[in-house]
Amino acid sequence: PAVVVDLSEGVLYHYDLEGYLYEAYPVAQGKATTPTKPGLRVVTNIEKYPYSTAPKTTKRAQNPEAYGPYTVCLANIDTKTGKITGSDGQFIHGTNQPNSIGKKFSKGCVRLNNDDVSELVKRLA
């Protein structure tokens, strides 16, 4: 399956294994001072609230309720070499601020409504 985030429309599209659109979800994305970076990424792991496996120095370990029920952790891919180049700390996750959906509000992460991220994770796992 594939996930495409259209930053110009503020929508996350989830495609099935055959390339058919499965679902589209409204998202919050990075604000002007901390924009969501475009690029190709791969899912490295999916963490579940209360994020006890997250490194203790991370925001999701220190403030887990802000990330909703799941965080989809991502790593960047170099489009020229295909190599994974590491994470930039921008993930897909739920939110405790549902009013942020549809806005440029985050520090770069892509936020979904909690029900939407739960549904997405079931299909990605």
The one catalytic residue among 109, 110, 117, 121: 109
Is 73 in the active site?
Answer: no
The one catalytic residue among 14, 93, 105, 110: 93
Is 93 in the active site?
Answer: yes
Exposure letters 72-104 (e unless 16+ CB within 10 A, then b):
bbbebeeeeeeeeeeeeebbbbbbeeeebbeeb
Which alpha helices (DSSP H) does 1-125 contain, by range?
A: 59-62, 114-124
Which residue, among 113, 110, 96, 97, has the nearest Cα to 29 in the 3D structure? 110
Q: Phi and psi at residue 37, in whole multiples of 5°?
A: -80, 130
Active site residues: 93, 109
